Amino acid sequence: MVPEPWFSHWNYHTLQLLRHLPHSGMTDGFCDLLIGTPLLSTWVFAACFYRYWTKQDDQKAWRRRCLVSSVVAFGIAGLVTVVLRPWIHWVAPVLSPNFQSLFPSYRWGNGSENCFPSHSTLVYFMIALGFWPLNRRLCLWLSGVTLFFISLPRVYAGGHYPIDVLFSCLLDLLMIVPIRRWLLAAVPSNWHIGGKPQEAIRDMLFFVWVFELGEGFRSVESLAALARHLFSS
């Protein structure tokens, strides 16, 4: 028996609403373009993160601690999902017999065996929330970009249920507030000042983070897949 997502009927009716935008070569092509082209979706987050991290003024240390808080909160939220996934899991809509009728047949079979939750939403909605104390308009704008250019295309393509996106957003909100308060209180204001070795390591990590953020963590996924392959062998 195929596991059903939480609030199965609500998910079904919500996905039915997307049928007001019928699947066609143009709509599916645009959806796939957003999913497969980071320059149209995820690179804007890397650009904003880079801009606010490298800005030189008297609020540099505070601003960096705000940005780091979203990264730390995302890491902890990711660990929470790793713990939950063995216990809470369901196949993507395009693999579920109860939901496949909502999608064209050429979409069937392309989804994940465990699509809970939406990790793309988890990452980029969290990064968007990290800008709230820095620039609230930017925070709201990036949140909209996450939902409409990252989350929605994946739901429209049948890769995720609406509950996957909703859970990721709620988990982000639960994590970011306490983590931000803790880091802003615990991390010293001059934490970013250090010797050349520390600066070199920090700059290298920053470069890797911004690149992966822009590319949708494709390199990390490839390395994880390689590790799983080697482990299974």
Question: Residue 76: which of 134, 11, 126 has the closest Cα?
Answer: 126
pLDDT at 99: 95
pLDDT at 205: 86
pLDDT at 200: 76
Per the structure block, which two tokens stand in for 178?
């306490």
Q: Sort residue 216 into left (φ over 0), alpha (ψ -120 to 50) or beta.
A: left
pTM, whole model, 2 decimals?
Answer: 0.91
Helices 43-54 & 60-84 angle (0-180, nearest 10)? 140
CA distance 123 to 221: 14
pLDDT at 203: 80
Is residue 127 a contact partner of residue 74, using CB atoms and an 8 Å limit? yes
CA distance 36 to 44: 15
CA distance 146 to 50: 18
Q: How far is CA 125 from CA 16, 171, 192, 193, in A?
A: 24, 10, 25, 29
pLDDT in tens, the chain (233 residues): 778 999 999 999 999 999 899 999 899 999 999 999 998 899 999 999 999 999 988 888 889 989 999 999 999 999 999 999 989 999 999 999 999 999 999 999 888 999 999 999 999 999 999 999 999 999 999 999 999 999 999 999 999 999 999 999 999 999 999 999 888 777 665 555 555 666 778 788 888 899 999 998 887 666 666 566 567 66
Question: Residue 157: which of 100, 107, 114 has the closest Cα?
Answer: 107
Residues 6+ apart with CB under 8 A from 21: 27, 156
Domain ranges of the chain: 23-232
Contacts 24+ apart (CB under 8 A), 23-30: 23/103, 23/104, 23/107, 27/156, 28/104, 28/107, 28/157
pLDDT at 213: 93
Question: Residue 106: which of 23, 48, 177 has the closest Cα?
Answer: 23
CA distance 144 to 207: 25
